[in-house]
Amino acid sequence: MSEGATGLIEAGAGAQPQPGERRRGIDRVIMLLEALLKHRAPMRIGDIAKMINAPRSTTYEIVNSLLEAEMLENVGSEGYVYFGRAMHLFGWAYSHHNAHYRRILETLDRMAAETGETVQLCGLRGNKYVVLDCRDSPGPFRISSDVGVEVPIPWTASGRLLVGHMQETELKDFIPAADYELPDGRVIAPDEFFADVDLARRQGFSETSALADRFTWCMAAPIRDSHGAINTTLCFVLPVDTPEPRRNQLLELLRERARALSLAGS
């Protein structure tokens, strides 16, 4: 049971709609919000009901409650709903309640401005990797509005750092077997991945080239919390053909900034 953060929504897919099955309103709310996040666009209430496998009448009831609380809001004129203003405020409160996170965002801004490259802040969500925030390079490439999209851990440089605290046996349980298959069909050998994780832990950074996508070179460095644990990583997403001297220079900057943001020493 890899009961991750998004465990509930899985029920949406495979669960046989057992007759008489009844769920709590709270769980429905959670499933609904995660479904919206996964879908990344306004949805019709009927479609939401199908997606989270809930009765239509219940879905209407819940959506109306959330609309009234402004956690959802109507989008467009006919029947679509998406996240609302209240969610924005809750999320803002999350990202600003501690000075640490604020410093991280400032660093993100500064690095993007100084280098002109795409910079990301990454973390785990359940047993997946997610981008928590990003500053896109101003160039024409990469729209990367992929904040919040769940990606298999083995596809990413940051992922190799974020699981650094786990034993190999733990890792085997933690990462679904399917996650070793890349989008282009190649499969990463788990042992190779474990070796990568180990290497990343020892050198204190991680790089991947043309892994999840053929055109990018990613480099990640860990941000440690006050216990020394790695909760988030800082990460550059570069064109694969970035010349090596520049890459080294950027890696140096990345590691320095990530170190400065870590709370371990202070």
Partner DNA sequence: TTAGTTTGTCCGATATTCCAGACAACATGT
Partner DNA sequence: ACATGTTGTCTGGAATATCGGACAAACTAA
Binding interface with a second copy (CB under 8 A):
3, 5, 7-8, 24-27, 29-30, 33-34, 36-37, 40-42, 62, 65-66, 68-71, 75, 82-97, 123, 125-126, 130, 132-133, 145, 147-148
| 147 contact choice in DNA, a second copy, none (CB below 5 to 8 Å, kind-dependent) | a second copy
Q: Contact residues for DNA (CB under 7 A)? A: 17, 19-26, 28, 44-47, 54-58, 60-61, 64, 78-79
Q: How far is the CB of 51 from a second copy (least distance, A)?
A: 16
Q: Which residues of 113-149 are buried (b: 16+ CB within 10 A; e: fewer)?
A: eebebbbbbbbbeebbbbbbbbbbbeeeebebeeeee
Q: Is 203 helix (H, G, I), strand (E, B) or coil?
A: helix
Q: Is the Cβ of residue 116 or residue 148 nearer to a second copy in the bound state?
A: 148
Helix extents (H) in the chain: 7-14, 25-39, 45-52, 56-68, 85-96, 99-115, 157-162, 168-174, 190-203, 244-261
Q: How far is the CB of 108 from DNA (least distance, A)?
A: 33
Q: How far is the CB of 41 from DNA (least distance, A)?
A: 15
Q: Is the Cβ of residue 97 or residue 246 nearer to a second copy in the bound state?
A: 97
Q: Is 36 helix (H, G, I), strand (E, B) or coil?
A: helix
